[in-house]
Amino acid sequence: MKNIILKEDKGIAEITINRPKSLNALNSETLKELGTVIEDISQRKDIQAVIITGSGDKAFVAGADIVEMQNLNAVQGRELAMLAQKVFSDIEHMPQVVIAAVNGYALGGGCELSMACDIRLASKNAKFGQPEVGLGITPGFAGTQRLPRLVGKGTAKELIFTTDMIDAEEAHRIQLANKVYEQEELMDKAREMAKKIMSKGIYAVSLAKSAINNGMNMDTESAYSYEADIFGLCFSTEDQKEGMKAFIEKRKPNFKGC
């Protein structure tokens, strides 16, 4: 792969978007590579958590690639949006937990990529924003949908309409960033959180992810019913038996992820 670095260590896959000269801007080649990596990892039982970050210390992803986008026609623009939406949706629905380690600018498509992840950890120098209307376009990688779901409709409209860039503390205040760390400790904190999650019943974590993500797209009664189905399913797993047995025996559970 040309624009993606993939590292694996003890069940954690670290994906680095690697186009530092363009502040890791997403062109279609990078999106396709990211899509292939995500598809591959989704099938793997030995990978239980994913961390996505950007190369260098300046940017997570500074958006879709403006150089590539400038001469697109309407059909090509739609195709690019559909490509990114598919990749981001695959990230949102992959069985593994996905943490965005936002290590600098997360603008436009970069902010949208971070929002497709389950959890966003930001470094103190991170900056979030949706600058699209300043370029004469709208967010197209599902930012108009994921941002209001995360921060509320009013704040999402303010950010999208004004194109204001916000720092990590403000992103934390509006619940766009889960936590904020010094840049040097960001990746270690992301790994630490991944390991903590992996120490739980990881199959249950995956089911909880599905209940949250799919339930949010249903009416409330259907979502409650879906949660009950998922909850019931847990009782067919070895982890449920082990988790409860360990509690009663006052010991740490030895989960198997099944």
Q: Taking a C-beta distance cutoff of 8 angstroms, is the pair 119, 97 a contact?
A: yes
Q: Taking a C-beta distance cutoff of 8 angstroms, is the pair 58, 23 a contact?
A: yes
Q: Does 194 bind ligand CO8 (CB under 6 A)?
A: no
Smaller CB separation from ligand CO8, 60 or 203 = 60
Site string for ligand CO8, 46-65 (x = CB under 6 A): ----------------xxxx
Q: Does 131 bind ligand CO8 (CB under 6 A)?
A: yes
* Neighbour-count burial of 248, counting CB atoms closer than 10 A to its CB (0-12 exposed, 13-18 middle, 19+ buried): exposed
- Determine which residue in the list 35, 140, 201, 257 makes contact with ligand CO8, applying CB under 6 A: 140
Smaller CB separation from ligand CO8, 109 or 257 = 109
Q: Does 132 bind ligand CO8 (CB under 6 A)?
A: yes
Number of residues that bind ligand CO8 (CB under 6 A): 23
Q: How far apart are CA 10 and CA 8, in angstroms?
A: 7
Q: Does 25 bind ligand CO8 (CB under 6 A)?
A: yes
Backbone angles phi and psi of 181, in degrees to 5: -135, 165
Contacts to ligand CO8 by CB under 6 A:
22-23, 25, 62-67, 69, 77, 80-81, 105, 107-109, 131-132, 135, 139-141
